Amino acid sequence: MSNYRDCYFDNRGPFNEFEGFYSIVNCQLAMMKDYQRNEGLFKAIKKYCKGKRVVDFGAGTGLLGVYALMNGAKEVWFVEREVNLHPIIENLARINGDFDNNVDYHICVNASQIPDQKDYFEVCISECVGDSGIEDTMTYEFSKITSKHPNSICIPDRIEYFWSSVYVDEVEKEIKYMKDFPLNYVDLFGKDESPFCPMNAMRGCSLRGYHNIIENKISTLDLKNYPTEPYVDMRFSLNNSSIEQEHNFIVLHWKCFTEDLEILNNSPQRHKDSYNHWLQFGFRDEGFKGDYSLYTNVHTGLVNLLKYIDEDDNKIIQGLNFKYK
């Protein structure tokens, strides 16, 4: 008998592009093909949901909430704004569980329709993370639910951010390619002054198989004690002495935890044959030295990468055209 764990999908496969439109079945399938993502969430659900009242926020096809029912949850509320997915949730629950009369589940469009009594839910679940950690407004909306249930287990309860230096062959190929390009893009703003050669903007990337890199912690975003102000300044510093000489790219990535259990990550250390439906993001900055910030709107998910430059003892923010969303 075949096992879904034995099937691996390539990030470059013909159908594996995750486009971010959650109402489209192809995008739901792309997430489901991310084996490491599934197993991390399933492990947490098995550990925490038996006998509990659960809310699954941003339920999609109902994967996580139904898995909670299959593992003994006594009540699950599915919150999914895309109403075309509601019949899928309903039928997924129907065909995947022989639930007794003590099990209850509900499907609704938004969080205003779920019970609002304090600590009604004992487990709050949401795969509310995206390429940059925060997923649009979804992470913020999930935090509003967790704040009403402060004693609940949250899956996940925090996002931890990291930077790592790596060597990416494509960077050197791009530099050579642009120098040989039929039009001169290299000297756009003076001799060797160009945003294209090398590209000096924060950009999405898909890196896997970097097994021996150092993960440098930037910051932690607590989903149970979420910032009230919209902007968070996540500072980190780069120093040439901390970056291997041959490395030419800084990759920014994250991990999600519930208590001490790591459940999700988009680390470049993931196995080269492991499909990762998330991108990372990163940048190249000549010299790799200075103070930087992931200046993040935690209500909308917009991330700006800023570089701080000392000038006459005043901090000047240089945007360097680094922006990612």
Whether residue 207 has pLDDT greater than 90: yes
pLDDT of residue 324: 39
32 contacts 62 by C-beta, under 8 angstroms: no
pLDDT at residue 308 greater than cutoff 90: no
What would the pLDDT profile of 28-62 be if each residue is shown by its tens digit?
Answer: 888 888 999 999 999 999 999 999 999 999 999 99
Handedness of CA 214, 7, 5, 123 (dihedral sign): positive
Q: N- to C-terminal Cα distance for the chain?
A: 42
Residue 235 tokens, joined:
């500072």
- pLDDT category, 314, cuts 50, 70, 90? very low
**Tokens 């999908």 -> residue:** 9
Asked if residues 259 and 157 have their Cβ atoms less than 8 Å apart, the reply is yes
Give the pLDDT mean for 10-25: 66
The answer for residues whose C-beta is within 8 angstroms of residue 319's C-beta and 6 or more apart is 304, 306, 307
| Structure token digits, residue 251 | 């990759």
**pLDDT of 4 over the 80 cut:** no
> For residues 263-282, b (16+ Cβ closer than 10 Å) or e, as one string?
bbbbbbebeeebbbbbbbbb
Phi, psi of 146 (to 5 degrees): -65, -30
What's the average model confidence in pLDDT over 57-78? 96
Task: Domains for the chain: give ranges and CATH numbers.
Answer: 4-125 (3.40.50.150), 159-324 (2.70.160)
Q: Is 103 or 203 the better-scoring residue by pLDDT?
A: 203
What does the alpha-carbon distance between residue 180 and residue 200 come to, in Å, rounded to a whole number? 18
> Residues 306, 285: contact at Cβ < 8 Å?
no
**Tally of CB atoms within 10 A around 166:** 20
Confidence tier at 193 by pLDDT (50, 70, 90) = confident
pLDDT confidence band for 1 (50 / 70 / 90): very low
Q: How confident is the model at residue 306 (pLDDT cuts 50, 70, 90)?
A: confident
Smallest Cα–Cα separation from 159: which of 227, 222, 233, 216?
A: 222
Task: Tell me the pLDDT of the chain averaged across its residues.
Answer: 87
Confidence tier at 286 by pLDDT (50, 70, 90)? confident
- Exposure class string for 62-94: b at 16+ Cβ within 10 A, else e: bbbbbbbbbbebbbbbbbbebeebbebbeebbe
Cis status, amide bond into 150, omega within 30 of 0 = no
Q: How confident is the model at residue 325 (pLDDT cuts 50, 70, 90)?
A: very low
Nearest to 121 by CA among 157, 160, 152: 152
Say if pTM beats, i.e. exceeds, 0.75: yes
pLDDT class of 8 with cuts at 50, 70, 90: low
Above 60 in pLDDT, residue 274? Answer: yes
Q: How far apart are CA 216 and CA 237, in angstroms?
A: 10
Please give the C-alpha separations between residue 155 and each of 56, 183, 196, in angstroms, as whole numbers: 10, 51, 40
Question: Is a pLDDT exceeding 60 seen at residue 82?
Answer: yes
